[in-house]
Amino acid sequence: MKTVFNIDYDYHKSTGIGRYGLELMSAWISLGEECRMWVPRWMAKLGPLPEPFAGLTSCYLPKRRITDHIWPSFTAALKKIDWVHSANCMLLPKSPFFKQSCMVHDLGPLLYGQMKAPEDTEPWRRRLNTVAEQADCILVNSLSTMNDMLHYFPNTSNRIFLTPLGIDHFKSVHDDADSCKSHILAVGTIEPRKNIDGLLRAYACLYSRRDVPPLVIAGGDGFQAESYKILPSELGIQHKVRFTGYVSDTELTTLYSKAVCLVHTAHHEGFGFTVPEAFRWKLPVVASKTGGLEEFFSGCAWMVDPSDIDSIADGISNALEHGVTEAQQRNRLELSKELTWKSCAEKTIAAMQNIQAVRK
């Protein structure tokens, strides 16, 4: 089975989509599966893909002229390509020469459309509708996302498969007990879906009860970011809160190494890489009991109701007082064995083969 990975995302950014794309391709290659990478020509400005992908990459033109629509089909027919897989719900024009699969990470544009700018929400809604109508194989990262897909798009029931993501790329680091642990850390875009408002109000509530380390929020500005940045002053905690803006991987590593705990109280996540990334640093984690966060990490973290300020405050207090419990650590170790990129790749291959067998 010959597969092409359609690189429709910024592969230099460690976002959930970018991480999924690169790690899945690595696992694909390690399994000995034949594959290529197609990159839109306009993305050439990002520079080459890292090894071992660079030598397997071809560029194609964006879909503007009739020739741009023909190139994928012509190349697939010539190279005998069976599948084109998208990590980002960007399907290519339909072709009789290959089938298309894609990963749906979450249905935020439908569930929480009001929490992003309309210019961001509407294109994602259109992509999801196109995927539901045209994709031969739809992959989801959690049962939560699968249930959401089946609710909005019941016609996908015979094409949808669960392929949980891996977390084994987060290698454990040496935990230096003497290092300076200075702050509570939150990582994510400054936007409504990440529940920055709830986090700040819960932190202010906890600060009124006890002494707490400063709160550092690392992430680029998103929808309504300015309103969140002035909220600490309104709550009287401006001297305890720092917004870093977007940070590099190196800067993020420093922030994790100095954190006393991670707080991730998003309203919804299809999976949520931020949580297992904190496991790497053996940090206690406070996470929302919603979506994929609850499905995968409920036994590994202090789970809270993201809509309840007191629940979040109590979760942070538990993390500061009790750290990582023995039971949480055991569950983290078991989960790291279960959620691997090899398993994700194997389940993806099995899904494609299932579709092929049914359609023969």
Residue 125 lies inside a defined structural domain of this protein: yes
Task: Say what the pLDDT of residue 172 is.
Answer: 77
- Do 246 and 296 fall into the same domain? yes
How is residue 178 written in tokens? 């003497």
Contact 101, 131 (CB under 8 A): no
Task: Say what the pLDDT of residue 66 is.
Answer: 60
* Separation between Cα atoms, residue 53 and residue 60, nearest integer Å: 16
State the pairing for strand pair 215-218/183-187. parallel
Task: Say what the pLDDT of residue 34 is.
Answer: 93
- Do 325 and 238 fall into the same domain? yes
Amino acid (1-letter code) at residue 101 = S
Task: Say what the pLDDT of residue 65 is.
Answer: 60
Find the helix packing angle between 143-152 and 118-134, rounded to 10°.
80
Task: Say what the pLDDT of residue 175 is.
Answer: 59
Task: Say what the pLDDT of residue 46 is.
Answer: 81
| Cα angle, residue 340 at apex, residues 337 and 345 outer, rounded to 5° | 145
Q: 301 is in which domain, residue-wise?
A: 183-338
| pLDDT tens, position by position, 195-245 | 999 999 999 999 999 999 999 999 999 999 999 999 999 999 999 999 999
- Do 246 and 277 fall into the same domain? yes
- Do 292 and 349 fall into the same domain? no
Task: Count CA within 13 A, CB hemisphere, residue 248.
Answer: 2
Number of domains in the chain: 2
| Segments in the chain below pLDDT 70 | 61-69, 174-179, 360
What letter would DSSP give residue 50? Answer: P
Burial of 286 per CB tally in 10 Å (0-12, 13-18, 19+): buried
Burial of 226 per CB tally in 10 Å (0-12, 13-18, 19+): exposed
Amino acid (1-letter code) at residue 226 = E
Residue 310 lies inside a defined structural domain of this protein: yes
Residue 171 lies inside a defined structural domain of this protein: no
- Do 235 and 130 fall into the same domain? no
User: What does the chain come to in residues?
Assistant: 360
Question: Sign of dihedral through CA atoms 130, 131, 132, 134?
Answer: positive
